[in-house]
């Protein structure tokens, strides 16, 4: 259910001359599932994003911690939707040279998975992620991955039952506002559920709309419960923009 304050904010932001609509993927456009490879997009939410791309002055992006190749695989790369992966490091139009530190990250996280049963390593173009949702010793696995990241000097991102080690200084906030500058956005709507999405929420201005998905503490001004309600938000925004 969408409360009155959020409904009013959507009606207002829909009138921006140039509007950027961006969202996280897992937990926002897709329910959190045990197997990351089966995290299919919420059909109604994806349809609403696709509809928004067809409206004048609207730009749409998915900004995720997943690799860009994983986003393409899961979403089918819908026309008009920009896919930005690895917390803003992958745009699909850059050709950054391979950093040998990435190999060191993968090697070290592989050793962690060998020590902690039930963990899963996800290799990424700018580092790697240790998923410990099914680990027998979840606190130990998380602590081991964090220790590895600090010893290697990588950026350590603690998400929902995942620790990511990234080479470089990228974050979702920088990515969203870089894209906003590129398209000349007058206002931004951003939806996300994870701690990494706080980098965006903390930078949103008075005329922007940040929507936190879930009950955790947040800098976002508005909140919804789950991807089902995310779909309602996007549909409401599309109707308001198209009216």
Take residue 71 and report the two structure tokens written for it: 């986003």
Take residue 74 and report the two structure tokens written for it: 């899961």
Average pLDDT over residues 13-23: 98
Annotated catalytic residues are: 24
pLDDT interval class at 1 (50, 70, 90): confident
35-78 pLDDT per residue, tens: 878 889 999 999 999 999 999 999 999 999 988 999 999 999 99
Q: At what angle do helices 227-242 and 4-13 cross, to 10 degrees?
A: 40
CB 180 within 8 A of CB 188: yes
pLDDT interval class at 187 (50, 70, 90): very high
Average pLDDT over residues 132-145: 96
Q: What is the pLDDT of residue 76?
A: 94
Percent of the chain with pLDDT over 90: 81
* pLDDT exceeds 90 at position 126: no
Average pLDDT over residues 198-209: 97
Buried b (16+ CB within 10 A) or exposed e, 83-104: bbbbbbbbbeeeeeeeeebbeb
Q: What is the pLDDT of residue 97?
A: 53
CATH numbers and ranges of domains, the chain? 4-89+170-242 (3.40.50.1000), 100-166 (3.30.70.1020)
């Amino acid at each position: 259910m969408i409360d009155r304050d959020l409904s009013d904010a959507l009606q207002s932001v829909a009138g921006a001359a140039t509007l950027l609509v961006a969202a996280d993927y897992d937990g926002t456009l897709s329910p959190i599932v045990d197997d990351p490879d089966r995290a299919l997009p919420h059909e109604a939410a994806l349809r609403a994003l696709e509809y928004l791309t067809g409206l004048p002055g609207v730009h749409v992006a998915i900004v995720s911690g997943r690799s860009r190749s994983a986003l393409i695989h899961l979403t089918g790369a819908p026309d008009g939707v920009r896919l930005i992966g690895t917390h803003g490091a992958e745009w699909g139009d850059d050709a950054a040279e391979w950093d040998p530190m990435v190999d060191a990250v993968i090697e070290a996280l592989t050793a962690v998975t060998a020590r902690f049963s039930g963990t899963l390593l996800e290799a990424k173009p700018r580092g790697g992620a240790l998923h410990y949702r099914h680990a027998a010793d979840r606190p130990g696995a998380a602590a081991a991955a964090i220790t590895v990241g600090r010893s290697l000097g990588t950026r350590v991102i603690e998400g929902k039952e995942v620790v990511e080690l990234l080479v470089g200084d990228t974050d979702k906030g920088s990515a969203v506002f870089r894209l906003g500058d590129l398209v000349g956005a007058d206002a931004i709507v951003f939806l996300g559920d994870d701690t990494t999405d706080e980098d965006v929420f903390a930078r949103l201005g008075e005329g922007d709309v940040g929507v936190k998905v879930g009950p955790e503490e947040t800098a976002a001004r508005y909140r919804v419960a789950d991807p089902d309600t995310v779909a309602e938000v996007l549909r409401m925004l599309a109707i308001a923009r198209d009216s």
